[in-house]
Amino acid sequence: MSTTLIEQIAAAHTRAAQRTQDGPTGDDERWTIVLERDYDATPEEVWACWTEPDRLGRWLGRIDRQPEVGGTVRMEMAPDGEAAHDVTLLDCEPPTSLTVRWGGFGEGESEVRLGLTEVEDGTRLRLEHSGLRARGAWSYGAGWGEVLHLADRALHDPGFDVAVVEDETRGSLEEGLQHYWDELVPTGRGG
């Protein structure tokens, strides 16, 4: 995977990471990551891509049913079930905002908030993931960067399925995106 693709993905969204203002300090301090990306699609189309179980399962993770506010579903992000975690729907205002409690990958519970805003040429998606340790912010920042890219592909290609993306291509992409996040969360690897 060339760095040109990484640069294209990086240029497609803004990103930030900051320590949580009221969180603990030291090893337990918490971080929030924020990414924004514009999509050439209506808010309703972007919303459907992120919330319809069948569509979501092709590019992000499989859930067994449509969750209700307050309900928890298990999301499987790998065919072998190895990358599975619980997602609890905390708030939902279609097609503009969604907040979930995100548990998994050794981070404990955190919160992911999606916000959709109509812009001149489509929809701006803002993803805010809070309550992360430094290492989690670093790796989630890279991971969410890839997810925002995959969402664009899923929006424009109804047959897109991440399961058919070659493993080595995904690995190269993840490595490049993690490097891209190093400057934002310099303590990420040790946190």
State the Cα angle at 169 between 168 and 172, rounded to 5°. 85
Map out the domains of the chain with their CATH numbers.
Answer: 3-182 (3.30.530.20)
- Between the alpha carbon of residue 118 and those of residues 38, 128, 157, 175, the distances in Å are 9, 18, 21, 32
Provide the pLDDT for residue 121. Answer: 92
Q: For residue 78, what are its two tokens?
A: 């790998």
Provide the pLDDT for residue 48. Answer: 93
Number of CB atoms found within 10 A of residue 131's CB: 19
Which strand (E) or helix (H) includes residue 191? Answer: none
pLDDT tens-digit series, residues 114-156: 999 999 999 999 999 988 877 677 777 778 888 888 899 899 8
- pTM for this entry: 0.76
CB-CB contact of 131 with 21 (8 Å): no
Provide the pLDDT for residue 118. Answer: 97
Nearest residue to 127 (alpha-carbon basis) of 143, 144, 142: 144
Provide the pLDDT for residue 4. Answer: 44
Tokens 């109804």 found at = 158
CB-CB contact of 112 with 99 (8 Å): yes
CB-CB contact of 134 with 31 (8 Å): yes
Over its C-alpha atoms, the chain yields an Rg (Å, rounded) of 16
Q: For residue 109, what are its two tokens?
A: 């519970």
Which strand (E) or helix (H) includes residue 171? Answer: helix 167-182
Tokens 């924020």 found at = 34
Provide the pLDDT for residue 62. Answer: 87
Tokens 């905002």 found at = 97
CB-CB contact of 73 with 65 (8 Å): yes
Residues of the chain with pLDDT under 70: 1-28, 78-82, 104-107, 135, 165-191
- Between the alpha carbon of residue 57 and those of residues 75, 108, 156, 170, the distances in Å are 9, 23, 16, 17
